[in-house]
Chain A
Amino acid sequence: MVLATLRGVSFTYAYTNEPALRDINLTLEEGLLYAIIGPNASGKSTLCALLRGIVPLFHEGELKGTAEIRGRNLLEWDPAELSREIGYVFENPFTQISGIKETVFEEIAIGLENLGMPSEEVIDRVEKVVEQLELGALVAKNPNELSGGQRQKVAFASIIAMDADVIVIDEPTSQLDPESSDAVFAIIANLKKSGKSIVLVEHKMDLVAQYADRVIALNGGRVVIEGPTSEVFTSPLLNASDIARPAVTDLAEALVHVGRPLSRTPVTRADAAELIRARMKGGPRANRSR
C-alpha cells in the first residue's frame, strides 16, 4: 500500500512570504523506514508535519498541489482519525509533553486514555513501552523535572504506546547520547520489522546509513534526491547541496583525492571495512609476492 503521494505540493505558512515546501513530488511506500535529511530550514519538519496533517489542518497556510495520505486526500481526513493512524513525535520534546500530568507513567498513558481505552489495557500497554525503552526509573517522576534527553525518550514512548501504523518522528535523537541514540534506532528498526511505516528526520548520518531503507534529501524546500539510502549518500547532488554524509563516505571521497579509491563508495562502517579488507588481502603487496 502507498503511505503518501505528493504531487506538485507547495506549502507557505501563514504570515510568511517564502514557501517552506516547493513543488514536492514523492511517493512513500508503507512498511519502510524513510529518513528525511537536509540543511537547516530546508523543509524537513514541514514535510513531517504535512504527512501527519498538522500542516495544513493545524498550522495555517497555503497548500498547493495534491497530498494523498493512505489513498485519501489530506484535506478530506478527519484530523482525529488521522492522528490515530499516524503517530507524530515532535522535534522539541517540550512541545510534546502535556504538562498536565504529574507522573511519567500518566504522561505516556494520556494518548491512550484519550482514545477511551479501558484502563487495564492502558496500564498494560504503558508497562510494555516502559520496559522496552528502559524508563522504569522515571515512571514515578514528574515530567517537568526530566532532562532534555529523558523528555525526548518519554515523548517517544507516548507515541509508541499509541501503536499507530505509521510513525513520523522529527529528530528522535537530537538530545541523546550515542548509547541512547543507538537504543532508540534499535527500537525503531523493531517497529519497522513488526510492519510499521516510519518516517523520521535525522542529522546523524551514520545512523541514517545504517537503518534507513530510503532517504529523502531536501534543500530550500525542494527534493534534491530521493532513493535507496546508499544511492542518495553517494550521489554528487548531495555534496553540491552541503548536506552531510556518513563519515565513511567522506573517508571514501578522501581516498579518491589521494589517488587510492575503493572499488565502490561505502555508506556504513561494516561496508567500508569489507571493502578495505578485500583490498588488504588482494592488494598490491599480494600481487608483488606472486
Chain B
Amino acid sequence: MPIVLDEVAFDYPDGTPAVESVSLRVEDGERVAIVGQNGAGKTTTVKLMNGLLKPRSGAVMVDGESTADRTTAMMAQTVGYVFQNPDDQIFTSSVQSELEYMPKYLRWEEARRDERVARAVALCGLAQHLETNPNDLPIAIRKFIAIGAILVGECRYIILDEPTAGLDVPGLRLLNSLIDHLQSEGIAVVTITHDMRFVTESFDRVVAMANGTVVADGPCEEVFADDDVLKRARIRRPEVAQLVRDLGIPTAALRLDDIVHKIP
C-alpha cells in the first residue's frame, strides 16, 4: 500500500502557502529523492507524509487511510521521519537508551525489542557506542543514532532529511548499504537532499520542487536531462554528468560507473 498525496496544500502559521496542489505517490520499497532550493516546500511535503502536519486542503492517504484521522503517534509507527539535525531528535543519555526508548514506551515484549534494537545497531554501525552519551560522539555518528532510533520501529516508510550533510566517505558507504538493506525488506526510502551525486548514485526517482509545487517527478535520467526543470527548481546536475554535457557527449548517464564508459 502506498503513500498518496492528492492535491495537497499547506500554509505556514503566518498564512503564507508552504505547498500548493502537490500530488505524488510513494510505493512500497521505492526510493525517492526530493530536491529543490531551501524553502521549496520539501520538508513540509515529507512532514505531511508522516502526519506531523495535516493538509489545509487535499488528502494524504497512507496505506489507504487519511492522515487527518490518525494521530502523529499512530503515524510514527508507519512512516518514520529522521530529522535533519540529529540533536532535534536525540534526548537520552546513552545510545542504548535512545534506541530502546520507543519500544519501552510502547511496552513491547523484551524479545521483540531486543531483536529490533540489535537490527538497528547492526545497520547503523553503533555496536561500539552503546554505552556512550550521544553528546560525546561526532555529528556523523549522532546522525546514525537518529536513524537507528527510527529503524527500531516497524515503519514501512523511512524519510531521511539531508542524510549526507556532514558525512565522510565511510559514513556515506554505511548510509548506502543501509538504504540497500531497507529496500531489500520492502521498506520505501524517501530522502530530502541537496547532494545530487547522492541522488543519482542511490535513487532511481527524483521529485523536483520549487515554490511549493512539484515541477518534475520521474526517473533521474529524465529529470536531469531537462534544462528547463533544472532552471525552475534551481538544481544542478551532478558534477560528472555536467562534465559530459559540457563536452557534448550524447548520453543520459548520471552515475560515475556508467559515465566512465562514455568518455572517449
Q: Which residues of A contact B (CB under 8 A)?
A: 38-41, 147-150, 171, 174-181, 203, 206, 242-244, 246-248, 250-251, 254-255, 257-258, 260, 269, 272-273, 276-277, 279-280, 283
27 A-B pairs with C-beta separation under 8 A: A40-B167, A40-B171, A41-B140, A148-B84, A177-B37, A177-B38, A178-B194, A178-B196, A178-B235, A180-B38, A181-B194, A206-B239, A243-B168, A244-B168, A247-B197, A248-B239, A251-B243, A251-B260, A255-B263, A272-B243, A273-B243, A273-B246, A276-B247, A276-B263, A279-B264, A280-B264, A283-B264
Which chain B residues border A250 with CB–CB below 8 Å? Answer: 240, 256
- B24 close to A (CB within 8 Å): no
Contact assessment for B38 and A176 in the assembled complex, using a CB-CB cutoff below 8 Å: yes
Q: Tell me the complex Cα distance, A259–B160, Å.
A: 38
Q: Tell me the complex Cα distance, A48–B38, Å.
A: 27
Distance between B16 CB and nearest chain A CB, rounded to angstroms: 12
> Which residues of chain B from 246 to 264 have any CB-CB distance to chain A below 8 Å in the complex?
246-247, 256-257, 259-261, 263-264
Which chain A residues border B171 with CB–CB below 8 Å? Answer: 40
Q: Could you list 13 further interchain pairs (A-B, Cβ under 8 angstroms) beyond the known A242-B169, A247-B197, A272-B243?
A: A38-B168, A177-B38, A177-B234, A178-B236, A179-B234, A203-B167, A243-B169, A246-B239, A247-B239, A251-B243, A251-B256, A258-B260, A283-B264
Contact assessment for B194 and A177 in the assembled complex, using a CB-CB cutoff below 8 Å: yes
Name the residue in A177, A206, A258, A283 with the highest tally of chain B Cβ atoms < 10 Å from its Cβ.
Answer: A177
Which chain A residues border B242 with CB–CB below 8 Å? Answer: 269
Contact assessment for A175 and B165 in the assembled complex, using a CB-CB cutoff below 8 Å: yes
Which chain B residues border A257 with CB–CB below 8 Å? Answer: 260
Question: How many A-B pairs with Cβ below 8 Å?
Answer: 97
Distance between B147 CB and nearest chain A CB, rounded to angstroms: 15
Which chain A residues border B240 with CB–CB below 8 Å? Answer: 247-248, 250-251
Contact assessment for B168 and A254 in the assembled complex, using a CB-CB cutoff below 8 Å: no
Contact assessment for B169 and A244 in the assembled complex, using a CB-CB cutoff below 8 Å: yes
The chain B residue with its CB closest to the CB of A279 is B264
- B141 close to A (CB within 8 Å): yes
Contact assessment for A254 and B246 in the assembled complex, using a CB-CB cutoff below 8 Å: no
Contact assessment for B247 and A273 in the assembled complex, using a CB-CB cutoff below 8 Å: yes
Q: Tell me the complex Cα distance, A148–B247, Å.
A: 36
- B219 close to A (CB within 8 Å): no
Which chain B residues border A174 with CB–CB below 8 Å? Answer: 165-166
Which chain A residues border B263 with CB–CB below 8 Å? Answer: 251, 255, 260, 276
> Which residues of chain B from 217 to 241 have any CB-CB distance to chain A below 8 Å in the complex?
234-236, 238-240
Distance between B135 CB and nearest chain A CB, rounded to angstroms: 12
Contact assessment for B194 and A255 in the assembled complex, using a CB-CB cutoff below 8 Å: no
The chain A residue with its CB closest to the CB of B35 is A177
> Which residues of chain B from 68 to 108 have any CB-CB distance to chain A below 8 Å in the complex?
84-85
Given A40-B139, A177-B38, A254-B257, do A280 and B169 touch, yes or no (CB 8 Å)? no
Which chain B residues border A147 with CB–CB below 8 Å? Answer: 38-39
Contact assessment for B38 and A150 in the assembled complex, using a CB-CB cutoff below 8 Å: yes
- B170 close to A (CB within 8 Å): yes
Contact assessment for A149 and B235 in the assembled complex, using a CB-CB cutoff below 8 Å: no
Distance between A38 CB and nearest chain B CB, rounded to angstroms: 8
B256: which of A150, A203, A254 is its contact (CB, 8 Å)? A254
The chain B residue with its CB closest to the CB of A273 is B246
Which chain A residues border B196 with CB–CB below 8 Å? Answer: 178
- B138 close to A (CB within 8 Å): yes
Chain B residues touching A, majority SS:
loop
A277: which of B84, B239, B247 is its contact (CB, 8 Å)? B247
Which chain A residues border B235 with CB–CB below 8 Å? Answer: 177-178
Which chain A residues border B257 with CB–CB below 8 Å? Answer: 254
Q: Tell me the complex Cα distance, A181–B38, Å.
A: 11
Given A251-B260, A283-B264, do A176 and B194 touch, yes or no (CB 8 Å)? yes
Q: Tell me the complex Cα distance, A257–B190, Å.
A: 33
The chain B residue with its CB closest to the CB of A171 is B166
The chain B residue with its CB closest to the CB of A181 is B194
Given A247-B239, A280-B264, do A242 and B168 touch, yes or no (CB 8 Å)? yes
Q: Tell me the complex Cα distance, A149–B84, Å.
A: 12
The chain A residue with its CB closest to the CB of B43 is A147
Which chain B residues border A179 with CB–CB below 8 Å? Answer: 37, 234
The chain A residue with its CB closest to the CB of B164 is A203
Given A269-B239, A277-B247, A279-B264, do A39 and B194 touch, yes or no (CB 8 Å)? no
Contact assessment for B169 and A39 in the assembled complex, using a CB-CB cutoff below 8 Å: yes
Which chain A residues border B172 with CB–CB below 8 Å? Answer: 244
Q: Tell me the complex Cα distance, A247–B241, Å.
A: 10
Which chain A residues border B39 with CB–CB below 8 Å? Answer: 147
Q: Tell me the complex Cα distance, A221–B153, Å.
A: 37
Q: Tell me the complex Cα distance, A246–B243, Å.
A: 12
Q: Tell me the complex Cα distance, A250–B246, Å.
A: 18
Q: Tell me the complex Cα distance, A248–B239, Å.
A: 7
Contact assessment for B260 and A254 in the assembled complex, using a CB-CB cutoff below 8 Å: yes
Distance between B66 CB and nearest chain A CB, rounded to angstroms: 29
Which chain A residues border B36 with CB–CB below 8 Å? Answer: 177
Given A40-B138, A176-B38, A178-B194, do A258 and B261 touch, yes or no (CB 8 Å)? yes
